[in-house]
Structure 1
Amino acid sequence: MVAGSDTHGQPAVVPDPGGTAPGRGAHLHPTAECLDLAVRRKAFARALRIAGGGPGLSTTPLAEHLTTRVAQH
């Protein structure tokens, strides 16, 4: 995953399954539990080095990707 923007142009954590997007990336286990824990710990702002702690950082694109991935398996 990398820092990017959602469909409305707001800051978001977006999936990068191929690991080819530019910028600093981070890894996350593909489970809802790990996503919830990372959100509670504000791990995305720290791991992706987002200034100001990433207030308003959306995880919706990543959550949708995880839901789709789980449904496929």
Structure 2
Amino acid sequence: MESVRTCVGCRSRAPRSSLLRVVVQESELVADPSATRPGRGAWLHPTAECFDLAVKRRAFGRALRVEGALDTAAIRSQFIRTG
């Protein structure tokens, strides 16, 4: 049975394989497609809509338990290309 995670953008539950894991590395959000990077991760549908919702709701900071501003430029450019 596959693990189920909740998207931080749309808040819907989905199988882990259909979501993208995102972690914080030096105050910057980075994608973790293999889900092997250390640290706390947030799960997100790989769509621009869910990314925009997560940014608007400030969900990354809460989910990753990080205070202060996070740099979302690297992740945003990935969603602009694929979304």
TM-score, scaled to structure 1: 0.74
Q: The residue matched to 2:39 in structure 1 has which SS?
A: coil
Q: Which runs of 5+ in 2 are unaligned?
A: 1-21
Equivalent residue pairs, number: 62
Q: How does 1:7-46 map to 2 (within 5 A)?
A: 11-46=27-62
Distance between the aligned counterparts of 2:47 and 2:57, measured in 1?
16
Distance between the aligned counterparts of 2:65 and 2:69, measured in 1?
15
RMSD: 1.6
Which one has a larger percent helix, Structure 1 or Structure 2? 1
Report Cα offsets for 1:39-72 as digits up to 9, x if no partner.
010000011111x3xx33111111222334x27x
Which one has a larger percent strand, Structure 1 or Structure 2? 2
Q: Which runs of 5+ in 1 are unaligned?
A: 6-10
Report Cα offsets for 1:9-61 as digits up to 9, x if no partner.
xx1111001001000011101111111110010000011111x3xx3311111
Distance between the aligned counterparts of 1:20 and 1:65, measured in 2?
19
Identity percentage of aligned residues: 48
- Relative CO higher for 1 or 2, CA cutoff 8 Å, sep ≥ 6? 1
Q: The residue matched to 1:40 in structure 2 has which SS?
A: helix
TM-score, scaled to structure 2: 0.66
